[in-house]
């Protein structure tokens, strides 16, 4: 039977010589002959089927150790268990990729939105209907500024982790009614959206379905002048506010480098 060099086998199977040597080192795939004088490795065609199987599983990201288990158990119930295990693993990875794809798509949409906004859209109130939403939140302990907002956000993330809830890209500041109705912004917290079926308690707040006034604004953390402008436009349009104010951080400092380019969207229930 014809003998093939390691270069031949690497080219035929589109793998590197380094990979073939690694498979040999791990006890998975050996040459049929090693020349004692030159240390050249030679293979035969009847080995190609096994190598094809190894390459197939490696391309699926399966670790060498697990592939060796499969090779050792070929034709047995162990092989069935191996394949079932890999299907479960790929299913979990697929779910993670779906989540990552959704998050990246949402972030891309935000950047495209930011690029499209101009003076016709910034600091102008519009109205749209929103479904019920639930948020996990915590109060700022001190008069809010950039550092206090960031520290409060970390506490919210800890709350989410303790409850086994995902950390949402939909987060920001919450201005409570007892503050802005008295023209002060010392009643402020930080929120992150949670799944719609999260049980309501002291750290979970429900924002009901309804008509919401919305406004985009540039700039950083609690902004009294922007809040006052927002409420003036709502009042001038003949609406009355019915909830706390959500200030979604669409682009925060980590996204845009400077506080002046941070993009928020205010949302508040109105009637």
What is the per-residue pLDDT for 223?
78
Once rounded to an integer, what is the mean pLDDT over residues 8-24?
A: 94
Q: Is residue 55 predicted with pLDDT exceeding 90?
A: yes
Residue 138 · residue 159 · CB < 8 Å: yes
User: Domain 119-269 belongs to what topology?
Assistant: Multidrug-efflux Transporter 1 Regulator Bmrr; Chain A (3.20.80)
Distance from C-alpha of 216 to C-alpha of 94, rounded to nearest angstrom: 35
Cβ atoms within 10 Å of 29's Cβ, excluding its own: 23
What pLDDT shows up at residue 186?
74
CATH of the domain spanning 3-72:
1.10.1660.10
The stretch 253-271 carries a mean pLDDT of: 89
119-269 matches 3-72 in CATH topology? no
Here the tokens at position 64 are 């060498």
CB 252 within 8 A of CB 262: yes
Average pLDDT, the chain: 90
Digit-coded pLDDT (tens) for 154-169: 999 999 999 998 888 8
Domain coordinates in residue numbering, the chain: 3-72, 119-269
Three-state DSSP at 174 gives strand
- Measured CA distances, 32 to 35, 45, 47, 68, 101 (Å): 10, 10, 8, 18, 45
Residue 124 pLDDT: 94
Digit-coded pLDDT (tens) for 211-238: 999 999 998 776 788 888 999 999 999 9
Q: Which of 52, 94, 84 is nearest to 71 (CA)?
A: 52
Q: In what order do the strands lie in the sheet with 245-251?
A: 126-130, 210-218, 263-269, 245-251, 171-175, 188-194, 133-139, 204-207
pLDDT at residue 183, rounded to an integer: 66
The pLDDT, as a whole number, for residue 144 is: 67
**Is pTM beyond 0.85 here?**
no
CA distance 252 to 262: 5
10 and 16 in contact (C-beta within 8 Å)? yes
Task: Name the pairing type of β-strands 210-218 and 33-34.
Answer: unpaired
3-state helix, strand, coil in the chain (%, to 5): 45, 25, 30
């Amino acid at each position: 039977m014809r003998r093939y060099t390691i270069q031949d086998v690497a080219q035929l199977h589109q793998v590197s010589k380094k990979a073939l040597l690694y498979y040999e080192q791990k006890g998975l795939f050996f040459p049929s002959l090693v020349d004692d004088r030159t240390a050249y490795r030679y293979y035969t065609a009847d080995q190609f089927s096994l190598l094809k199987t190894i390459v197939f599983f490696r391309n699926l990201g399966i670790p060498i150790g697990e592939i060796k288990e499969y090779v050792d158990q070929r034709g047995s119930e162990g092989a069935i268990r191996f394949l079932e295990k890999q299907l479960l693993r790929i299913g979990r990875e697929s779910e993670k990729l779906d989540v990552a794809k959704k998050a990246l798509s949402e972030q891309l949409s935000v950047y495209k939105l930011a690029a499209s906004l101009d003076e016709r859209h910034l600091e102008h109130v519009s109205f749209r209907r929103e479904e019920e939403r639930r948020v996990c939140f915590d109060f700022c302990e001190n008069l809010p500024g950039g550092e206090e907002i960031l520290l409060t956000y970390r506490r919210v993330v800890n709350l989410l982790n303790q409850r086994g809830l995902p950390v949402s890209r939909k987060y920001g500041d919450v201005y409570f009614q007892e503050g802005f109705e008295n023209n002060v912004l010392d009643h402020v917290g930080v929120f992150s959206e949670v799944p719609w079926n999260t049980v309501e308690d002291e750290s979970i707040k429900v924002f009901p379905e309804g008509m919401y006034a919305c406004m985009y604004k540039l700039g950083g953390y609690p902004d009294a002048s922007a809040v006052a402008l927002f409420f003036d436009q709502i009042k001038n349009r003949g609406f009355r506010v019915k909830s706390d104010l959500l200030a979604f951080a669409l682009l925060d400092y980590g996204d845009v480098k400077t506080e002046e380019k941070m993009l928020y969207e205010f949302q508040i229930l109105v009637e």
